[in-house]
Structure 1
Amino acid sequence: MSVEVLGDTLQHRSGVIGDVEARCQDVAVVHGAQQFLRCAVDETKLVEAAGGGGDWSRETAQHAIRFVAAEFVDGLPVGEAVVAAGVEQHWPLSGCHRLGSSWRINGVCGARNRCARWGREGATIFSVLVNVLVGLVTSLIGGGCVWLWERGKRARVLRRKADFFGLVPGETCFIVIGNKHGVRGVATHKEIRAMIELATLAGQLGCGVATESVDDFRGSNDDRTEFCIGGPLGEANLRTGGHLAAHVPGVSILPYGPGPESVAFVVGGRRYLFRKSEVEYALVAKFMPPQATRPVVLVCGQSSLANQAAIHFLKRNHRQVADTIDSVDRYCLLIKVADIGTYGFQGASLERDVTGDAFTVS
């Protein structure tokens, strides 16, 4: 079917037909199928206005639709061709069905149903994709918030621990290890364990660690945090004796002797007796020497076991201890180690905060 056939059909109707044919041919050549179909619709209305109508409208519709399907739409079902041209509202639905199955016509109604079905299916798929995307985004945001919260919580815990022990992440601290009682150049097994506890603590907080020998090291700690381990008796750690005398004047240690007051601590007029392997004490003092920019943490126990117990206890319980003292910048704590026969160095507890007495001249 061609434009000429449509023109021949139109010539049998009225004087208006010549103009209709010419206009439809021009539109088909210049503008293609869609404009031709729209032209056919408009010209059908002209013919109806001239007294045609009825079968004339249906016949014109048949020729126009068949022309579009055969010549321009490459076998597209005629109903879909009408929809593609955007003029389906001009054709009666029943009329489309009467055009014949040889043209694979499902009608405008079928095309609309298919479009509606495709629209519903597309909307369903789109809704599912949106829900999946929203779920993924929500999961990512929630996971990120939890991760940030946990990271912030851990950072706060580490910062509080670093403040308590006077450490600064990224800097280097050093440990001064004393000698075994009366033996220069030799450290006890428990003193080495205490040093390992401190080195582990510093590593956890991102600090480097150096060690100094009490026999060789002299001078200020300057810009490094110092951990000085061991008591001054028996020349075990003479540096501890110097720190006590210069910065912790309210603490005194009784000398070794045969009586029950041997190696007893005296703080604020009270004596804390040493009962070997039963009840022992350790003093942990933190202070800032005037010539330094970083603090000294002094661990002075009545025995090497008491030194290890004090470090272990504060490492695990620094938050609770920090809540009971006035300041973490300067303090002096008395740590009690009881039930040693049963719990060893793990039986430590905080006996007293003696900061006020320890830093006051008695």
Structure 2
Amino acid sequence: MNEDVRNIVLGVLATGISASLGWLGRTYRWRRRLRRKQAFFGLPGGSECLLVVNRESGGDNVVHRYDVFAMLELSALIKDCGAQARILPQDQTHQGFGDRTEFCVGGPYSNRRMAAHLTTLLPGVRVNVDVEPSEVRGSITIGAERYLMEKGRSEYVILARLTAGEGHRPVFLFCGQRAITNQAATRYLARHHETLARRHRGGSFVLLLKVVNSEAYGPDVVELVADVTSAARTAPPAPEPSGATATEPAATT
């Protein structure tokens, strides 16, 4: 009888120790993933970041519903990191970058902050902001390549993580041809941030994504077109003066 009791006690102790070790292992892995996530987004626990909200094209300070959905996707990421978001309109963000992580959503036509970031951080990117309908309206040019939009069928969005400024906190850009592409980029980031962190080792990157058939699939079907970091961060050569003419060498005697 005493031996049976001893075996039962030993079994209970072994089970308790195994459960404790399993719990400690899971907790360690969870904390390690959390630290990596916080490092990638530049969001240590208790920190504050900026969410820069654009306006709907043609609207009067109205935010498009797909951009609202994009903000919700980002808010979930921020909450998972134990950080807090400060939401600012695109025309009231009068501060530099690098001190706090920033998430900037929307194209340069509807987001002044995005227009400034493209000029300063991505000089190789040009976005057509013509109001009149045309074939090139909303097109994105990166280096020498131009990407045209087929509304509802084939649309493009830039997803960028850039480190600049004194504090070296990242700036995330979601610059799409339509609001639904902005949400597609935020969802892509939420799903693939671990892969992106391993691939780019916490450095800067600029990706061009293609949203396929958004009329049928919404923001869910996204293809990676190319890593355009080098072309996007390289300023195009300055055009030659329009009045410049070739000069003939002077005659010698």
TM-score w.r.t. length of structure 2: 0.86
Tell me, what secondary structure is at the counterpart of 1:173?
strand
Write the distance in 2 (CA, Å) between the matches of 1:292 and 1:228.
Answer: 18
Q: Which moved more, 1:208-217 or 1:239-248?
A: 208-217
Q: How does 1:40-59 map to 2 (within 5 A)?
A: none
- 3-state SS in 1 of match to 2:182: helix
Deviation at 1:222, TM superposition (A): 5.1
Q: 1:358, CA displacement in angstroms?
A: 1.4
The answer for the alignment partner of 2:151 in structure 1 is 276
* Unaligned stretches of 5+ residues in structure 2: 237-253
* Residue matched to 1:301: 176
Aligned to 2:32: 156
Amino acid at match of 2:125: V
State the shift of 1:199 in Å: 0.8
- The structure with the largest strand share of the pair is 2
What is the rounded CA distance, in whole Å, between the counterparts of 2:98 and 2:160 in structure 1?
Answer: 18
Equivalent position amino acid for 2:24 in 1: L
Name the structure, 1 or 2, with higher relative contact order (CA <8 Å, separation 6+).
2
Structure showing the higher helix proportion among its residues: 1
Q: Counterpart of 2:134 in structure 1: which amino acid?
A: G
Within 5 Å, which residues of 2 pair with 1:20-39? Answer: none
Tell me if 1:252 matches 2:96: no
| Number of the residue aligned with 1:133 | 9
**Greater Rg, structure 1 or structure 2?**
1
* 1:346 has 2:220 as partner: yes
Please, which runs of 5 or more residues in structure 1 have no aligned partner?
Answer: 1-124
Matched residue, 2:232: 358
Counterpart AA for 1:285: A
State the partner residue of 1:329.
Answer: 203
Q: Which amino acid aligns with 1:196?
A: L
Instruction: State the shift of 1:179 in Å.
Output: 0.9
2:81 pairs with 205, 211, 229, which one? 205
TM-score (structure 1 length as normaliser):
0.61
1:60-209 alignment, distance < 5 Å? 125-209=1-85
Give the whole-Å Cα distance in 2 for the aligned partners of 1:211 and 1:148. Answer: 37
Aligned 8 A contact 1:177 1:228 in 2: yes
1:199 corresponds to which letter in structure 2? S
* One-letter identity of the residue aligned with 1:361: A
Which residue among 138, 142, 150 is the counterpart of 1:263? 138
8 Å CA contact retained: 1:264, 1:271 = yes
1:174, CA displacement in angstroms? Answer: 1.7
Check whether the contact 2:99–2:166 (CA below 8 A) recurs between aligned residues: no
Percent identity between matched residues is: 33
